[in-house]
Copies of this chain bind each other. A is one copy, B any other.
Amino acid sequence: MLNFTFQNPTKIHFGEGQIEKITKEIPKDSKVLMVYGGGSIKNNGVYQQVSDALKSHSWQEFSGIDPNPQYDTAMKAVQFIKNKGVDYLLAVGGGSVVDAVKFIAAASLYEGEDPWDILSKGAKVKDALPFGVVLTLPATGSESNNGSVMSKGDDKLFFGSPLTFPKFAVLDPATTLTLSDRQISNGVIDAFVHTMEQYVTYPVNAKIQDRFAEGILHTLIEEGPKALDEKSKNDIDVRANIMWSATMALNNLIGSGVPQDWTTHMIGHELTALHHIDHARTLSIVLPATLKVCREAKREKLIQYGRRIWNLNSANENEIIEQAIAKTEEFFKIMQVPVRLSDVSLGENTIEPVLQKLEQHGFTALGEHQDIDLNVSRKILQTAV
């Protein structure tokens, strides 16, 4: 096991009816800004539940946070906050809203000239407004970690700070019952690939981390398809198990003490930035290709993955690896997401622009061995065509 430091201070309120807990979580004298995306929370009752919980607070709202949250929109929120003296933020929505609120929290108190430097130059976050989360889409894990991904033009970049953990997060699986099939499948795939990025690397004999990762994968493989099936899609336990899986997939726990990859995410981010493909759908396209191209570096963990997750028991290890990758693609297809660039009408000609963006962002040594250079990334994209 590798040495690590782990801390996750976010308080989780999980279960039906838990939105009312925000009344006590947000200090009474706060000037609250509720931040959300489109109008879906007005149709599914969440906006009303949050309003009810905040009825003794002073609060205002800011809507219109985009999927793949945009810098320009976030900066409008920052201006609003400065004008109105807001001192507590409440993100209501999915990972995009939570990521945007993390950036808004940091940018509102940023003393440098351009808050985009936090993402583009790694400028240090020295202070941030406190914020809570009401999660309505299980996927990114952002509700219980300190990371954020923001977009500006065709740049999609990451930042994280110890100051950008949510103070609390409410996870009510009932709020996910109105999600579209596409939102559900994207969420399950996002959580699945988060887990794979921290699990299918090279073994360091970290048994708890491996088994927790395997527990998440098993759960997503079992529950994901149920959430798309008319017979079981309203089963609250299905939604609860997916929701808790997604949080556990990226709350720093399973990644502590083990090598991490993130090649698939980095390439995927460029595909989203250039072609506006849903984040999860870039992952389902890139992951199988990454596993194929890096099969030797990931050999031992791919075999473990095949045996423990897909119950493959061939005596031929290469066969296990091939079948494990095939099973992964099969699962992705069951979850109705693309597995090739051609499935989203992209071809060879997207490869060089993606590589240029990777180079521009400094992502020329990706992966758990930092040996995925632009040539290997090209091979991955060619494999994904």
Contact = CB atoms under 8 A, between A and B. Distances in A.
A241 to B, nearest CB: 5
A15 interface: yes
Nearest to A235: B205
Nearest to A168: B7
Give this chain's copy count: 2
A12 B3 contact: no
Contacts of A73: none
B15 A6 contact: no
Given A18-B3, A257-B15, A218 B211 contact: yes
Contact of A214 (B2, B5, B11, B215): B215
A242 to B, nearest CB: 10
A378 to B, nearest CB: 37
B215 A245 contact: no
A120 to B, nearest CB: 29
Contacts of A21: 5
Contact of A245 (B7, B11, B208, B256): B208
B9 A244 contact: no
Interface string A224-257: 0000000000000100110011001000000011
B223 A216 contact: no
Nearest to A14: B4
A16 interface: yes
A219 interface: yes
B6 A208 contact: no
Contacts of A207: 215, 218-219, 222-223, 241, 245
Contacts of A240: 1, 205-206, 257
A215 B216 CA distance: 11
Contacts of A222: 207
A97 B274 CA distance: 57
Interface in A264-323: none
A256 B8 CA distance: 16
Interface string A189-223: 00000000000000001111011101110110011
A6 B17 contact: no
Contacts of A336: none
A205 B241 contact: yes
B12 A9 contact: no
A42 to B, nearest CB: 25
A31 interface: no
Contacts of A8: 8
A4 B11 CA distance: 11
A244 B245 CA distance: 20
B211 A215 contact: yes
Interface of A: 1-18, 21, 205-208, 210-212, 214-216, 218-219, 222-223, 237, 240-241, 244-245, 248, 256-257
16 contacts: A3-B15, A3-B17, A4-B12, A5-B12, A5-B21, A7-B10, A7-B11, A8-B8, A12-B256, A206-B244, A208-B219, A208-B248, A210-B215, A211-B211, A211-B214, A212-B212
